[in-house]
């Protein structure tokens, strides 16, 4: 018998899904005169400064050991550098529907990674829920999937999306590891974002990407939304959720936020829902319930430290 979903976990999940679900179209405002990799750098530079300010306000520990710095550097590389750099680049070629289907497979990578590297038992209920949800997304974006051609340049972008998903999954596991130590979401995220920013700009300089900034209203407005809502709020909620319910179950957010993106499209772009789309939504919601609820006897695999 499944227990009710914990209210705190449900709130964290909802905030994560709503925050990231609304960023799919906002990201389009970042494409223009600034290279996508450089835009990632600006995003996490501002986000890291914001999270560092939150840490100082909360009185978090900011003196890290060498081992903790190394783990935070890994977090920055995989979650705040490679992940976004690959997806921003893929977004120049692929539709958001295809990207969201690829990214939703993280629910499986996280569960397997937590089992192999963190020695956590496989949560078959969460895997089943993830499978149902991903199937719902396949139905939702079936037209884009059927029109995709492996002989086009899109195949490389699809590979970049898969690599970005694997990179994000590794970052999730690193965050779970950090939260088991004497660090919490805020200080580990602050240092992770700082390292990710540094690596991103170094990569941009090596490859000759101009370090420029677009002062247009659309670029600045979308950047600030991505910084404060898509980075500070979303990652604060999501990484806390990882610490509370584990990487596998938390990753179901990647299945749910494309649904929010579609709802945004219905409200602001005139997208018309079909019966197939409604059926797909129903599958995602069913998978949502299966992934987030758990047997009463089951313990949460890891807990974020308080404070």
Residue 209 is given by DSSP the state -
Q: What is the pLDDT of residue 4?
A: 56
What is the residue whose two structure tokens read 């602050």?
A: 190
pLDDT of residue 306: 35
Which residue matches tokens 């409200």?
267
According to the model, what pLDDT value does residue 292 have? 76
- The per-residue pLDDT for 301 is 47
Asked if residue 201 lies in contact with residue 46, where contact means CB atoms within 8 angstroms, the answer is no
CB-based contact 170:73 (threshold 8 Å): no
**What pLDDT is attached to residue 222?**
96
Residues of the chain below pLDDT 50? 1-3, 297-307
Which pLDDT score is estimated for 182? 79
**Tens-place pLDDT, residues 9-53:** 999 999 999 999 888 778 889 988 999 999 999 999 999 999 999
CA distances in angstroms from 281 to 19, 61, 124, 129, 306, listed in the order given = 18, 42, 22, 13, 35
32 φ/ψ sector (left φ>0, alpha ψ -120 to 50, else beta): left
> According to the model, what pLDDT value does residue 58 have?
94
């Amino acid at each position: 018998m499944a227990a009710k979903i914990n209210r705190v976990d449900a709130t964290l999940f909802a905030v994560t899904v709503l925050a990231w679900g609304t960023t799919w179209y906002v990201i389009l405002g970042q494409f223009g005169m600034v290279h996508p990799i450089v835009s990632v750098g600006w995003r996490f530079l501002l986000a890291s400064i914001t999270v560092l300010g939150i840490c100082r306000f909360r009185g978090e520990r900011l003196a890290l050991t060498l081992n903790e710095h190394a783990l935070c550097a890994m977090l920055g590389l995989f979650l705040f550098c490679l992940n976004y750099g690959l997806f921003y680049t893929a977004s120049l070629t692929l539709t958001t529907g295809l990207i969201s289907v690829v990214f939703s497979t993280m629910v499986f990578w996280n569960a397997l990674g937590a089992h192999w590297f963190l020695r956590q038992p496989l949560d078959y209920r969460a895997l089943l829920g993830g499978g149902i949800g991903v199937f719902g997304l396949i139905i939702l974006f079936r037209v884009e999937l059927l029109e995709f051609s492996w002989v086009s340049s899109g195949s490389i972008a699809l590979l970049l999306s898969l690599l970005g998903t694997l990179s994000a999954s590794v970052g999730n596991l690193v965050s779970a590891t950090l939260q088991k130590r004497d660090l919490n979401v805020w200080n580990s995220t602050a240092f992770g974002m700082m390292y990710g920013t540094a690596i991103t700009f170094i990569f941009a300089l090596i490859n000759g990407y101009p370090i420029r900034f677009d002062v247009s209203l659309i670029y600045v407005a979308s950047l600030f939304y991505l910084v404060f809502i898509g980075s500070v709020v979303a990652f604060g909620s999501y990484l806390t959720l990882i610490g509370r319910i584990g990487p596998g179950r938390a990753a179901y957010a990647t299945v749910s936020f494309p649904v929010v993106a579609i709802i945004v499209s219905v409200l602001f772009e005139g997208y018309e829902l079909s019966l197939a789309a409604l059926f797909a939504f129903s599958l995602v919601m069913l998978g949502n319930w299966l992934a987030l609820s758990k047997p009463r006897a089951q313990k949460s695999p890891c807990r974020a430290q308080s404070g």
